[in-house]
């Protein structure tokens, strides 16, 4: 073998870590979030053995993450195509205010249907702005978020809406079916549908193709604008459904009630992308991410951690989730 080739092989050998070490790193990156969840379960159970590791608290955690799981599932359908939807928090707030305002003047089912259709319409507008007018997803959905916030304050004049909300509707957040909260069943149903949509339908395969390689998707005949618009419409539906169910949970509609979902939803999705699959957004991972956030916040509340540390945790977990997802995505390429 000539000397240049020998030197090149030595350099490549020096840059490439041993196979065993690479497998350990990859396994830790893939399952680090799951290990973190298990660690939190052990620590919180040890600190509060009579409160945290109970069936009642487990149901409480699932109920707490139910709305987060729904809205994060919608965000997942957008992120698989490389887009962002920063309007989801303001969208959920607006949907809650809209349905609460409609309840006193029409049948509850009609009020909910109009609100869901409005949510799909808002998603359609987002999709058109981004897919056809070519505004960046970041700017377009941030502008939509600002407009929805302004419309929410205009609609309510800053007041909380609570009159005329049906007690049967409020029961959605308080009642159970087979001893499991109804909100958990709703979240499970929504995420199951989204999982089937993304992994077992032609639409889902086209969405992943758009996110993986837009140019190749275009040459294969995929109508990329239509896929992106569909993703935003699904996200809009999920954001509206979250806002509607939030009214049932709070028994009222408040002008900033849904703002907290924005960071938590993205944290859940990116945590999911750093779990099991190499940087790929997927519904089971999103559910796992929501569960991690729910366990952490529930445990910190039980052991008495000040609320401002919870904000620090939420920001930190989002940064770590995005970083881990990016590392795994680069490894997969």
At residue 26 the predicted structure's pLDDT band, cuts being 50, 70 and 90, is low
| pLDDT score at 16 | 46
> Please, are residues 172 and 245 in contact by the beta-carbon 8 Å criterion?
yes
> Please, are residues 228 and 217 in contact by the beta-carbon 8 Å criterion?
no
- Tokens 């989204």 belong to residue: 194
State the CB neighbour count (10 A cutoff) for residue 49.
10
> What mean pLDDT is predicted for residues 296-314?
85
Lowest-confidence range among 26-35, 187-196, 312-321? 26-35
* Residue closest to 254 by CA, chosen among 123, 94, 31: 94
Q: How far is CA 56 from the centre of its chain?
A: 25
Looking at the chain, the whole-number percentage of residues with pLDDT higher than 70 is: 85
* Residue closest to 257 by CA, chosen among 331, 148, 176: 148
Looking at the chain, the whole-number percentage of residues with pLDDT higher than 90 is: 62
At residue 71 the predicted structure's pLDDT band, cuts being 50, 70 and 90, is very high
| pLDDT score at 4 | 47
| pLDDT score at 58 | 94
| pLDDT score at 7 | 41
CA dist 4 → 9, 11, 65, 173 (Å): 9, 11, 59, 70
Residues in the chain: 333
* Residue closest to 289 by CA, chosen among 265, 325, 320: 265
Instruction: Classify the phi-psi angles of 157: left when phi > 0, otherwise alpha if psi is within -120 to 50, otherwise beta.
Output: left
Q: Can you list the domains of the chain with their CATH numbers?
A: 35-332 (1.10.3470)
| pLDDT score at 319 | 77
At residue 221 the predicted structure's pLDDT band, cuts being 50, 70 and 90, is confident
| pLDDT score at 317 | 75
- Overall pTM surpassing 0.75 (yes/no): yes
| pLDDT score at 136 | 92
pLDDT, averaged across the chain: 87
Task: Kindly report, residue by residue over 194-219, the tens digit of the pLDDT.
Answer: 999 999 999 999 999 998 888 888 88
pLDDT beyond 90 at 114: yes
Token code pair at residue 64: 């707490």
> What mean pLDDT is predicted for residues 169-176?
91
pLDDT beyond 90 at 29: no
What's the maximum distance between 2 C-alpha atoms anywhere in the chain? Answer: 86
> Please, are residues 270 and 322 in contact by the beta-carbon 8 Å criterion?
yes
> Please, are residues 61 and 295 in contact by the beta-carbon 8 Å criterion?
yes
Helix (H) or strand (E) holding 177: strand 176-177
* Residue closest to 136 by CA, chosen among 83, 74, 72: 83
Per DSSP, the residues of 123-148 read: HHHHHHHHHTS---HHHHHHHHHHHH
Task: Kindly report, residue by residue over 233-265, the tens digit of the pLDDT.
Answer: 999 999 999 999 999 999 999 998 998 899 899
> What mean pLDDT is predicted for residues 184-200?
96
> What mean pLDDT is predicted for residues 78-93?
94
> What mean pLDDT is predicted for residues 70-95?
95
At residue 11 the predicted structure's pLDDT band, cuts being 50, 70 and 90, is very low
Label the pairing between strands 180-181 and 176-177: antiparallel
Helix (H) or strand (E) holding 181: strand 180-181
pLDDT beyond 50 at 324: yes
> Please, are residues 149 and 91 in contact by the beta-carbon 8 Å criterion?
no
Residue 141 to residue 232: CA distance in whole angstroms: 10
> What mean pLDDT is predicted for residues 106-122?
96
């Amino acid at each position: 073998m000539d000397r240049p080739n020998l030197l090149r092989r030595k350099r490549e050998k020096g840059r490439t870590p041993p196979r065993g070490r690479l497998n350990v790193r990859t396994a830790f990156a893939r399952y680090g979030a799951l290990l973190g969840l298990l660690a939190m379960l052990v620590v919180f159970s040890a600190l509060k053995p009579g409160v945290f590791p109970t069936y009642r608290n487990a149901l409480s955690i699932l109920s707490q993450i139910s709305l987060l799981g729904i809205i994060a599932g919608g965000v997942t359908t957008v992120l698989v195509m490389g887009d962002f939807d920063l309007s989801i928090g303001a969208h959920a707030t607006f949907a809650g205010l809209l349905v609460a305002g409609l309840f006193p003047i029409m049948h509850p089912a009609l009020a909910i249907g109009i609100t869901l259709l409005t949510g799909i319409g808002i998603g359609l507008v987002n999709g058109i702005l981004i897919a056809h007018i070519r505004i960046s997803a970041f700017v377009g959905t941030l502008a939509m978020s600002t407009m929805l916030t302004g419309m929410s304050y205009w609609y309510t004049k800053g007041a909380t809406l609570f009159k005329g909300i049906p007690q049967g509707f409020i029961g959605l957040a308080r009642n159970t079916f087979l001893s499991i909260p109804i909100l958990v069943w709703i979240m499970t149903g929504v995420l199951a549908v989204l999982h089937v949509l993304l992994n077992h339908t032609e639409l889902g395969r086209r969405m992943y193709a758009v996110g993986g390689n837009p140019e190749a998707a275009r040459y294969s005949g995929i109508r990329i604008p239509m896929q992106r618009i569909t993703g935003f419409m699904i996200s809009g539906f999920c954001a509206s459904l979250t806002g509607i169910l939030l009214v049932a949970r709070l028994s009222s509609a408040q002008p900033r009630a849904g703002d907290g979902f924005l960071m938590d939803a993205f944290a859940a999705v990116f945590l999911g992308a750093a779990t099991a699959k190499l940087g790929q957004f997927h519904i089971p991972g999103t559910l796992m991410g929501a569960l991690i956030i729910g366990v952490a916040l529930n445990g910190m509340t039980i052991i008495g951690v000040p609320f401002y540390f919870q904000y620090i945790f939420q920001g930190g977990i989002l940064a770590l989730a995005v970083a881990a997802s990016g590392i795994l995505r680069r490894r997969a390429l």
